[in-house]
Structures are given as structure tokens and as C-alpha cells.
């Protein structure tokens, strides 16, 4: 994958959409065509992800309501088009944050292992068995494609307190 990947936060190609932006609550549409335009978007998404810094970034987080995400958990940049979680197993609790709710994190329970399918930027089908951090990254980005945020995984008083904090941070005092 070609790309610049040397961007700083001040000159990132995209602004990260924050809590309250309707695109973050909208289910993303399938990608119909993998072409040069999409590859350019992926490169800009990677530049933006590295500038923040993050380990994953879904297209809705940059205002593009398409089923696409990029990630890098330390082994180089990747993109997955039209991903689907085929299977999941186990349970893993881990403190998780989000570029769309910056500065906040919570312990989130997710499946420990997943089987993800989708397409690479050459249009080839891919199938990935992921566990722990990679699995969590995939699930987090998949949530964005479904219009969900990590706070949707919280329950009870923790959810109420998180929603109050997030609303005050991003929407102002209520």
C-alpha cells in the first residue's frame, strides 16, 4: 500500500467526527467499487489515523458513510472493505478509547476471538482469524460501520455517567 503516513495532527487530511455528529450513528453503506478514488481515501484515512494517533479508523469517523476501515496494530497499515464478522468466541475485558470520544476510556467487554471476512484494496477476498487486540480493533471499527459507539457497550450507572460526561464534553452543559 503506497502512502505518505508522515502527517501531523495539524495537517491531517480529515477531521475526526466527534460524538454528536449524525454520521457516527448511521449504518454505513457497502462499498460498490474499489478504485483509485477509494485508495486515495484509504491513504488519507491512514494519514489521519497516524496523526491522532490511533490503531484503527472507520470511514464514518471521517464523514464517509461506507463500510471500510483502516488499522495498524504495529505490523503496518491495512484496509478492509465491506468487512463481516463471521464468528466470535470467548470474552475479554479491556480498557478501550475512541478517536470520536477523545480523552475518555472505559472497560469494554467484547469477544476475545473473531473470524472476519472482507476484501483488500485489490478486490481480493480476505479471511482473518483475530484475537485479543486485533479482534478488539476489528470489532471497534465494525461498531462504527453499524452506527454504534463504545459507550453503547456500557450498562447501568456506568453508562449514565459516561453519557453525562460525553454530552457535557461534546454538546455543552445540558
Please indicate whether residue 125 is annotated as part of the active site: no
Q: Structurally, how many domains does the chain consist of?
A: 1
Is residue 120 situated within a structural domain?
A: yes
* pLDDT at site 174: 58
Report whether pLDDT(9) > 60: no
Is residue 4 situated within a structural domain?
A: no
Assign residue 65 the CATH number of its domain. Answer: 3.90.45.10
* pLDDT at site 3: 44
Is residue 35 situated within a structural domain?
A: yes
**Average per-residue pLDDT for the chain:** 92
50: Cα separation from own chain's centroid: 13
Give the domain range for residue 129.
9-171
* pLDDT at site 173: 67
Who has greater pLDDT, 129 or 10?
A: 129
Q: Give SS3 for 136.
A: helix
Listed range (9-18, 87-96, 144-153) with the worst mean pLDDT: 9-18
Report whether pLDDT(142) > 80: yes
Residue 155: which pLDDT band, with cuts at 50, 70 and 90? very high
Is residue 160 situated within a structural domain?
A: yes
- The length of the chain is 174
Catalytic residue chosen out of the listed positions 125, 141, 155, 168: 141
Mean of pLDDT values over 5-16: 70
What is the spatial distance between Cα 33 and Cα 68, in angstroms, rounded to a whole number? Answer: 12
Residue 97 burial (C-beta neighbours within 10 Å; 0-12, 13-18, 19+): middle
Task: Using alpha carbons, select from 138, 63, 73 the residue that is nearest to residue 100.
Answer: 63
What are the helix and strand counts (H, E) for the chain? 3, 7
110 close to 143: Cβ distance less than 8 angstroms: no
Sheet architecture: strand order including 68-71: 56-58, 68-71, 78-89, 113-119, 125-131
Phi and psi at 73, nearest 5°, equal -100, 20
Is residue 3 situated within a structural domain?
A: no
Q: Does the reported pTM lie above 0.95? A: no
Sign of CA dihedral 28, 43, 74, 117: positive
* pLDDT at site 32: 96
Is residue 33 situated within a structural domain?
A: yes
Is residue 138 situated within a structural domain?
A: yes
Is residue 2 situated within a structural domain?
A: no
Distances (CA, A) of 81 to 7, 77, 121: 23, 14, 7
Amino acid at each position: 500500500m503506497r502512502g505518505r503516513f508522515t502527517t501531523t495532527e495539524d495537517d491531517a487530511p480529515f477531521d475526526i467526527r466527534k460524538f454528536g455528529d449524525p454520521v457516527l450513528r448511521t449504518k454505513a453503506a457497502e462499498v460498490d467499487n474499489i478504485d483509485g478514488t477509494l485508495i486515495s481515501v484509504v491513504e488519507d484515512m491512514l494519514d489521519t489515523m497516524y496523526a491522532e494517533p490511533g490503531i484503527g479508523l472507520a470511514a464514518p469517523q471521517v464523514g464517509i458513510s461506507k463500510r471500510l476501515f483502516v488499522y495498524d496494530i504495529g505490523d503496518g497499515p491495512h484496509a478492509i472493505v465491506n468487512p463481516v464478522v463471521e464468528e466470535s468466541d470467548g470474552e475479554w475485558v479491556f480498557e478501550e478509547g475512541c478517536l470520536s470520544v477523545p480523552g475518555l476510556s472505559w472497560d469494554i467487554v467484547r469477544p476475545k476471538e473473531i473470524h472476519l471476512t472482507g476484501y483488500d484494496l485489490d478486490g481480493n477476498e480476505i479471511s482473518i482469524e483475530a484475537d485479543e487486540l486485533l479482534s478488539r480493533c476489528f470489532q471497534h471499527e465494525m461498531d462504527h460501520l453499524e452506527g454504534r459507539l463504545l459507550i453503547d457497550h456500557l450498562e447501568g450507572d456506568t453508562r449514565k455517567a459516561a453519557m453525562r460526561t460525553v454530552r457535557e464534553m461534546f454538546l455543552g452543559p445540558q
